[in-house]
Structure 1
């Protein structure tokens, strides 16, 4: 059985005053309450802690050792409490943010500019993965925040919409090989667009798949063919050389969200990160 905090606190006060009467006055409790607490500690330890005299009390050898240990416990507790309060209210700490690779092109530059200007002591680690994997890691407490595309809903997940996007077919002004189409075949958006293209007049002979959107962008920019790309990724490159191949071609609509668990917002640092993420200003393509 463990002693309660009051018993330890009363004993510690008695070791400071060496007088139960003075200890009771300083603690604002009756003398019998402190006496009972001392008896309880002695019973739990199976050893005498105090020697009572006419002028006050003296600590036994066990009492002296007990006093040092209890003082250490209280100092450790106060130190831990100060650290916790510091973590809660000071803008510092380390956080992991999951980012869908495509979303990172246009969210991370804005995010970094804001976070380091407002809280330079916060440390950020990034994990790049698909949205579904990022959400699963958030739910498993391995990722704190996530920039995700078209996330599934979950009762333990908070979703804040950031912006809309659309995945389209782009071309460059100097496109030389109009029969080549670049894209990431592992993406649902790409599958949907290719399926819809079968019903249109858009024709191509070769589809080249790569998971790197920046490679697709560069291939289209070089005139090597058409490319299936998110509009915001193209816009983030500040290039006016890529345009929609055709306004009437299929476009897949995406929604970009900030995702996190409610329990994540337990500190001022986490609240600031969430606020910056939610307020990232990205105009629709």
Structure 2
């Protein structure tokens, strides 16, 4: 026998009226519905909560205690529903946002920072990682949303393209010698081996007879840009990272180029969530 929310509603109204017939009338339900609700509650509690008489009912000591807790429980439930509804209709709440650390620099300064200033009840927790890990965490509900590069379609996800990003070989404008054959710079290539396009770009160069004698790998694109800017060979970088560098970086001439699709990803059930939709819309406007 399972107690429902309506059972508590019927019980509370009966406590207020001390009359089952009046409670049924006030709630627009039948008198047997009230009686059955009380019986279910008494069965679950293992004790009587009302003493019945010809004039109506009176609360037992157990009933008085239960009435206080049931009233508080119903108030709490209303607050939970209001809060949950507010998260859908208002820009507020705590959200976990996944993005690569380099992408987060643009996202925070150009999109999230002004949005959070204007909406003090909005909280964002950033999580940094690879695009595949971010998408997987959204699927498994460890993240609420994220920015991912070339995400694979999934039936539980909404994937919205934000921008197309160019990835190619870059070198320092101050230290360049031969941008036609970047391997001549120092024989060093600097890249993120976890970045999807890195191996494809290196293979394209190799097919054209260009190979590097040594490599440096880093998962931080800003570090790669800084190393290249200081004259340490050639780097594989997204254009937005290269342009943002404090050093003047230039594209290697005739280098192969790949284009990445940077997408905003979230679960389908959050389609009407105002906070997530506002972040999405602001990203689209910004980029």
Match of 1:214 among 215, 222, 225: 222
Q: Matches of 2:41 and 2:233 in 1, distance apart?
A: 82
Q: Which residue of 2 aligns with 1:98?
A: 98
Shift of 1:225: 2.6
1:245 pairs, out of 241, 248, 252, with 252
- In 2, the alpha carbon distance for the partners of 1:27 and 1:185 equals 66
Q: Which moved more, 1:127-136 or 1:6-15?
A: 6-15
1:224 and 2:232 are equivalent in the alignment: yes
Does structure 1 conserve the Cα–Cα contact (< 8 Å) formed by 2:192 and 2:221? no
1:157 and 2:157 aligned: yes
Deviation for aligned residue 1:159: 0.9
Task: Give me the whole-angstrom Cα distance separating, in 1, the residues matched to 2:40 and 2:174.
Answer: 89
Deviations 1:107-142 (A, max 9, x none): 332122342243232111111111111111111111
Cα deviation, 1:186-227, whole Å, max 9, x if unaligned, reads: 134222222211243756544333333222212222233322
Report if aligned partners of 1:51, 1:58 keep a CA contact under 8 Å in 2: yes
Q: Which residue of structure 2 aligns with residue 146 of structure 1? A: 146
**Aligned residue in 1 for 2:265:** 259
Distance 1:127 1:212 in 2: 14
Distance (Å, rounded) in 2 between the aligned partners of 1:206 and 1:53: 96
Q: 1:194 aligns with which of 181, 199, 202?
A: 202
Which residue of 2 is the match for residue 26 of structure 1? 26
2:189 to 167, 172, 182: 182
Query: Residue 170 of structure 2 aligns with which residue?
Result: 170
2-side partners of 1:110 and 1:258: how far apart? 15
* C-alpha distance 263-249 of structure 1, shift in aligned 2 (>3 A): same
* Gapped regions of structure 1 (runs ≥ 5): none
DSSP 3-state at the match of 1:197: helix
**Structure 2: which 5+ runs fail to align?**
178-184
Moved more, 2-11 or 225-234: 2-11
Asked if the contact 1:7/1:38 (under 8 Å) is kept, the reply is yes
CA distance in 1, matches of 2:125, 2:146: 12
The question of whether the paired residues in 2 share the 8 Å contact of 1:96 and 1:125 is answered with yes
TM-score w.r.t. structure 1 length?
Answer: 0.82
Write the mapping of 1:87-126 to structure 2, written as runs, cut at 5 A: 87-126=87-126
Describe the SS at the equivalent of 1:223.
Answer: coil
Task: Indicate the residue corresponding to 1:58 in structure 2.
Answer: 58
| TM-score, length of structure 2 as denominator length | 0.81
- Cα 1:18–1:118 shift into 2, 3 Å: same
Q: Is the 8 A contact 2:159 2:265 kept in 1?
A: yes
Contact 2:134 2:143 in 1 (8 A): yes
Whole-angstrom distance in 1 between the partners of 2:196 and 2:41: 67
Q: Secondary structure at the match of 2:189?
A: strand
Distance 1:78 1:104, change over 3 A: closer
Rate the CA distance shift 1:201–1:40 in 2: closer, same or farther, 3 A: closer
CA distance in 2 between counterparts of 1:151 and 1:33 reads: 53
Contact 1:138 1:260 in 2 (8 A): yes
